[in-house]
Amino acid sequence: MTRRLAVLGDPIDHSLSPRIHSGWIDDYSLNARYEAIRIEDGTFQSGVNELCIKGFTGFNVTLPHKHRALEFSGKSTPRAQAIGAANTLTYLNDESIWLADNTDAPGFMMALNNIIDSAALKTKTIVVLGAGGAARAVVYSLKPYADRLTLLNRTAEKAADLSHELVSGKAASGGLEYLAACIDSETILINTTSAGHNGALLPLPNRVGTLFYDISYGAAADRQLAMATELGWRTADGLSMLVGQAAASFETWFGIAPDIDRAMLRCRNK
Ligand code: ATR
pLDDT digits (tens, 9 = 90+) for 127-138: 999 999 999 999
Residue 19's nearest CA partner among 196, 256, 250, 252 is 250
Mean pLDDT, the chain, whole residue set: 96
Catalytic machinery residues: 66
Cα-Cα-Cα-Cα torsion 234, 264, 62, 256, nearest 10 degrees, comes to -120
Q: Confirm if 139 and 166 have CB atoms less than 8 A apart.
A: yes
Give alpha helix (H) positions in the chain.
17-27, 44-53, 66-72, 78-83, 104-115, 118-121, 133-141, 156-167, 179-182, 219-230, 239-254, 260-268
**How much is the pLDDT for 210?**
86
Q: Which residues have C-beta atoms less than 6 Å from ligand 1?
A: 130-135, 153-155, 158, 193-195, 198, 200, 202
> Which residue has the CA at smallest separation from atom 16 of ligand 1?
154
Give the mean model confidence (pLDDT) for residues 67-90.
97
> Which residue has the CA at smallest separation from atom 2 of ligand 1?
133
Q: How far is the CA of 239 from the centre of ligand 1 (A)?
A: 19
**What does the angle CA 102 – CA 241 – CA 2 come to, to the nearest 5 degrees?**
65
Q: How far is the CA of 43 from the centre of ligand 1 (A)?
A: 26
Phi and psi angles of residue 259, each rounded to the nearest 5 degrees, phi first? -80, 105
Mutate to test the pocket of ligand 1, among 178, 192, 194 (most ligand atoms within 8 A of CB): 194
Q: What angle separates helix 156-167 from helix 133-141, to the nearest 10 degrees?
A: 40
Ligand 1, closest atom to CA 193? 12
Q: Confirm if 123 and 106 have CB atoms less than 8 A apart.
A: no
**How much is the pLDDT for 269?**
87
- Structure pTM? 0.96
Cα–Cα dist 183/150, whole Å: 10
Whether 102 has a pLDDT exceeding 80, the answer reads yes
